[in-house]
Structure 1
Amino acid sequence: MATAKTPADAWLDAGLTALAEGGPEAVRVERLATALGVTKGGFYWHFPDRTAFLERVLDRWEHAAVEDVIAILESHPADARDRLRELFGLAMSFVVSREGAGVELAVRDWARRDTAVAARLRGIDDRRMSYMRALFAEFCDDELDVEARCLLAYSVFLGQHLVAATHGDYARADVLHRALENLLT
């Protein structure tokens, strides 16, 4: 039996890069093979078709953007505020990275045209909000306040890189830090 020369992970990484750069339409077997410097035959060793591959690309993104982040936060003792601070730091570093922001935006745009992706994205957003909700609830007694803080934090996470405004004498990082710290008081 022949062995696959290009691991599935390399194909998935190339798929995430293509998704970040051009949306799901840019995730094409031929393009990925060219980027990897291999023939497209190796693709079919790991994936039956492009549809199955796109599903695995979404799986990989979801795991990295949600489950891996939560696992990092839960891997050591910390109070809720410190976990939220760490979460905000991880989220901002993920989103400000070219690929992180690109994939996040590409998936959200894709979800506007594909009901299955929209349903999946809703689940991802619910999972992220649920985690934050549990943390905010540790120091906020009012359920509506907890929900409002979650929405504000998540809105900053999703939207801050779309804002082109400057902040006078303040660096964007400093403004983001203050905005998120205000949610922890």
Structure 2
Amino acid sequence: MSTRPTLTREDWIQAAQRMLIKGGIDTVRIDNLAKELNITRGSFYYHFKSREDLLQSLLINWRARATENIIQQLGSSPYSPSERLQQLLSLPFRGNAAREAAAFEIGIRGWARRDPLARQAMDEVDSHRLRYIESVLKQMGYKDQQAHDTASLIYAYQLSISIVLPNLPTAERFEQHQRIIQQWLNVPTD
């Protein structure tokens, strides 16, 4: 008798994430997931009430991993505000995990274009991230409006860095990135 590994709720969420990245939200179906995981649908219903429950869990997982955990780690670090901003801006250059996170982010954003639940989650995450960047800039000495405007610019840059010029050598992209953030780290005067 062969024993199958017991799948956890997290296993199903991770499979849904991979499926979202590969084929978009329409491919994230219970049958497709069960087939990919080589298990029956019954395991799914042990962990989730419905596909909607899974999708909501996927969004909660994304928010926690891509926003809450990062902000918490930076907030509890001994870094200065400038160093926290540098750490945040270096995330897209952290290897395979960064590439996977960027692909997941793109999948979520594509889904949010047509689904109110995903759109609401994305709007909340965007707002939370912007407020965090703005607060760091204020700690660095930026005035309210400067912090708000610069946070918007930094956030747009942060989102695009993983998708603009992805074939440019990583070292060259990182050098350019370093020059750009050094300009932002100089506190502007009125």
Specify the alignment match of 1:30 in structure 2.
31
Q: SS where residue 185 of structure 2 aligns?
A: coil
Q: Is the 8 A contact 1:62 1:124 kept in 2?
A: yes
Q: Report the AA paired with residue 93 of structure 1.
A: R
Q: Is the 8 A contact 1:95 1:101 kept in 2?
A: no
Specify the alignment match of 1:130 in structure 2.
131
Deviation at 1:140, TM superposition (A): 2.8
Specify the alignment match of 1:74 in structure 2.
75
Measured at CA, do residues 92 and 152 of structure 1 come closer, stay the same or move farther in structure 2, by a change above 3 Å?
farther
Which is further off, 51-60 or 21-30?
21-30
Deviation at 1:34, TM superposition (A): 2.1
Specify the alignment match of 1:180 in structure 2.
181
Specify the alignment match of 1:105 in structure 2.
106
Q: SS where residue 162 of structure 1 aligns?
A: coil
Q: Report the AA paired with residue 29 of structure 2.
A: R
Alpha-carbon distance in structure 1 between the residues aligned to 2:134 and 2:96: 20
CA displacement 1:107-142 (0-9 Å, x = unmatched): 111111112321221110000011111100012342
Q: Report the AA paired with residue 9 of structure 1.
A: E
Q: Report the AA paired with residue 179 of structure 2.
A: R
Specify the alignment match of 1:159 in structure 2.
160
Q: SS where residue 97 of structure 1 aligns?
A: helix
Specify the alignment match of 2:86 in structure 1.
85
TM-score norm. by structure 1 comes to 0.88
Specify the alignment match of 2:145 in structure 1.
144
Q: Is the 8 A contact 1:29 1:43 kept in 2?
A: yes
Specify the alignment match of 2:60 in structure 1.
59
Q: How many residues align?
A: 181
Deviation at 1:12, TM superposition (A): 0.7
Percent identity over paired residues: 28
Q: SS where residue 145 of structure 2 aligns?
A: helix
Alpha-carbon distance in structure 2 between the residues aligned to 1:166 and 1:54: 32
Q: Please, what is the CA RMSD of the aligned residues? A: 2.3
Q: Report the AA paired with residue 72 of structure 1.
A: Q
Aligned positions of 1:43-58 closer than 5 A: 43-58=44-59
Deviation at 1:75, TM superposition (A): 2.4
Unaligned runs of 5+ in 2: none
Alpha-carbon distance in structure 2 between the residues aligned to 1:45 and 1:112: 30
Deviation at 1:171, TM superposition (A): 0.5
Q: Is the 8 A contact 2:21 2:104 kept in 1?
A: yes
Unaligned runs of 5+ in 1: none
